[in-house]
Amino acid sequence: MPHFPDFLPTTAQYLTESASIALAHSIRRTDIITPLSPQPIATGYVCEGAGSPPILLLHGFDSSVLEFRRLLPLLAPHRQTYALDLLGFGFTDRLAGTPFDPPAIKTHLHSFWKTIIGEPVILVGVSMGGAAAIDFTTTYPHAVKQLVLINSAGFAKDPLLAKFMPSPLLYMATEFLRNPQVRQNAGIRAYKDPKFASTDACLCADMHLQMEGWNQAMMAFTKSGGYSFLSAEFISKIDKKTLILWGDSDKILGTSYAQKFAAAIPDNQLIWIDDCGHVPHLEKPEITAQYMLDFIGN
């Protein structure tokens, strides 16, 4: 078996699901020059398949490209498919002095798109990645052909108190987030069927915590207020045809936000995924992929 990429933590060797192992082997990093730092940022991503327009997948909060281990292999036979580790997350470098907030995430994403892709994409955002996709689409409409939001953040507001929390308390909060039991409980809540919260799933969700600067990036992002600036007025500026996919048993964001997105986005299609929690791309990857491909026009 080939070695995993050197930048992955050694815990990668304990992955057991074939989809997890295959995607971990496929992760690469490339240096992306951005206005954010005098040094290029080593950026984690996966690219498989061929065909235009390409698909670009954006993961959720405190996650990585491994979140797409079941979805990406279903899309790549039909389109060139990318999954990206957003700035401050996953296996992308967290350079000291770099801001880790939504404007920096958007700048880094645009630099990656311009350097590696360079043509309009089907932009797919999951949970927090949906908020990042909305922000990117409204700023760089020339880079996006169509938009897919999967159980997307954007209406849920982060607690305002977090912006004013002193650093020692923020550090304690991130360490709480690192706690294995806390992460296991969050994993169970993400699915309707708790059997999906397996040991392998936990490892996929936790591996990036070992990357240098994880604490500092989490603290900086939290202090920035995250994507709490999004609103119905902001979201209504989306001028791309949009597919909204939503698990009907979402215990993380609930289900009311799906209707809010449908009311705010001018040209959209809302599809409910039955018997599914917050992560349809992991719990119901086949049906999620098929809805996406039908929307794209395959």
Residue 179 lies in a domain: yes
4 φψ region: left (φ > 0), alpha (ψ -120 to 50), beta (else): beta
Instruction: Tell me the two tokens of residue 231.
Output: 């609103």
22-30 mean pLDDT: 97
pLDDT at 162 over 80: no
57, part of any domain: yes
Whole-number pLDDT of residue 179: 74
Active site residues: 127, 250, 278
Whether residue 162 lies inside any domain: the answer is yes
In a domain, 68, yes or no: yes
Q: For residues 59 and 23, what is the distance between their CA atoms, to the nearest angstrom?
A: 14
Q: What is the pLDDT of residue 176?
A: 60
Whole-number pLDDT of residue 180:
73
Query: Does the pLDDT value for residue 17 go beyond 80?
Result: yes
- Calculate the average pLDDT of the chain: 92
Residue 204 and residue 66 in contact, taking contact as beta carbons nearer than 8 Å:
yes
DSSP codes of every residue in 47-61: EE---SS-EEEE--T
Query: Does residue 108 or residue 169 have the better pLDDT?
Result: 108
**Residue at 5 is within a domain:** no
Q: Is residue 4 in some structural domain?
A: no
How far is Cα of residue 160 from the mean position of the Cα atoms in its chain?
23
Place 262 in a pLDDT band, splitting at 50, 70 and 90.
Answer: very high
Q: Please name the amino acid found at residue 294.
A: D
What pLDDT does residue 114 have?
Answer: 98
Higher pLDDT among residues 105 and 164, named by residue: 105
pLDDT tier at 171, thresholds 50, 70, 90 = low
Domains of the chain: total: 1
Question: What's residue 156's pLDDT?
Answer: 74
**Within a domain: 217:** yes
Q: What is the pLDDT of residues 37-55, one digit of tens each?
A: 999 999 999 999 999 999 9
Alpha-carbon Rg for the chain in angstroms: 18
Q: What CATH number is given to the structural domain containing 157?
A: 3.40.50.1820
In this prediction, residue 84 carries a pLDDT of 98
- 90, pLDDT greater than 70: yes
| Residue 235 CA to its chain's centroid (Å) | 18
Q: Is residue 2 part of a domain?
A: no
Could you list the residue range(s) of the whole structural domain that residue 275 is in?
10-296
